[in-house]
Structure 1
């Protein structure tokens, strides 16, 4: 195995701002794995909405995390820290990262990596961790999703949305999504959504009522918040659950608490990045046991949008913020891995 260099290329920015502040830097120090960590030689990195929010100065990395953007990657383990079996050197893995994936090398806790199945490309592998960890925790753990239930997903053609469709269907749910065009609705149906609502032309509350025969849905996965929350609650059945994972439509919601009481609704939410390494390792273990076999047998494949070169990270962010993408936007760091 070639020696690990002392410096690498990585994406950085001097001041928060728009997508154009991102630039490719040379001579960035290669991070060193600490106890319980591995060093990845990165093949691909996923681009996620939190990356854009961090770049804009609104989502600082947790204490101790790399200031470099990037929350998921695939690559080869090229160095290990204390307590990690050296036999892992050379393994091809994908990982949920605490930051640092927009670079040639990235340090990751050993407990946050998953093996790359033979049937999966390294680009596809890098597209999985952030959405899979997020959807599993919020739909199945916090949202308590069960076979036979109905799930409403906003942003149905985003990386999170497409993963929610696939996991929901894999575990016996009826999935309704909203999206901003008929093209996106058609794409969501091809991915597996049972129903797709163009929220720009249709009141999704009325549409959900028609689809469900007035019964409503069991669970809402909400990335919008703001004035969507009150509308989402109208869509829920008694004992329904509302899970918020982003606040793209505003941080405050005006809701009717009498409705919450009368329907016995549960309102919850989470953000994954600040959670402890131990929590993420336990989540990885459950995903590996319950969901990873679906990746290995081909039942779940990430929906891929576009792959940009590492140096074109600014263009990748601009595409994400334009909202035209369907599925995952990726950065190619080392396509030879």
Structure 2
């Protein structure tokens, strides 16, 4: 093991740069060369690869996004595309890869491992939807970005005595909605993992009105429906004035929190250690504050567990 490649793929997440920094510096510390692959698997196919030195990753730990940039690549899902990537790896003499991203990125890592190039997957996605880890890089930052927005919107909701419906990211996973809704004191939280009853929601809002409550916050994960669609559905059950706010891609950006920086640093360093131990086809993660690793097949084949207990608690506390 002499040369390790690093790429980021899929949606960007705050803390990716901290993970890149950890991989590069851990590699160099152990006498290995580190190579950055720019623009994800697309860059791998096209040979957009450069050696990284200590200074290459200086002053990036606090920056959001990814210095290696990211791109989705349909071609790499094919055997032909994967072969092109392998040819580039051979050309640069790269022995193994650290892939930073979500489950789609891990699929590419699995394919390369199966073809003789050991890969370690580092979970980085704001959705927190990867099995094998309690938290993914970027989730904590996105959570706090959403929470900050909720706090600001609540000021306006209170001033104008309105119900605000806030749409957050989460096509298949509701962690952003659940955690931000619980922390932000939302009256209603809609997530893909749990069914909802519109009549019950309307009744809860009506009950609040009767006791003098002047405003409410409703959090809707995009995987359930759009905030606009929900507002239209709600109108059929209760006559209240609502406003819609879609947070969109603001949730992806921004300076990573201290938690995400530390998590990324720990996971990135462990990824290098696993490769030095001759292991590939693994993913790293954190469980009970301990860094763990799992077979990539088990991670890809198992959906992350949703905390129904937290969801029930949010229902109790929002009465």
Common fold: TM-score over 0.5: no
Q: Which gives a bigger RCO, structure 1 or 2 (Cα 8 Å, sep 6+)? A: 2
- Of Structure 1 and Structure 2, the greater strand share is in 1
State the TM bucket, normalised to the shorter chain: 0.3 to 0.5
Q: State the structure with more CA Rg.
A: 2
Normalised to the residue count of structure 2, the TM-score between the two structures is 0.36
Normalised to the residue count of structure 1, the TM-score between the two structures is 0.35
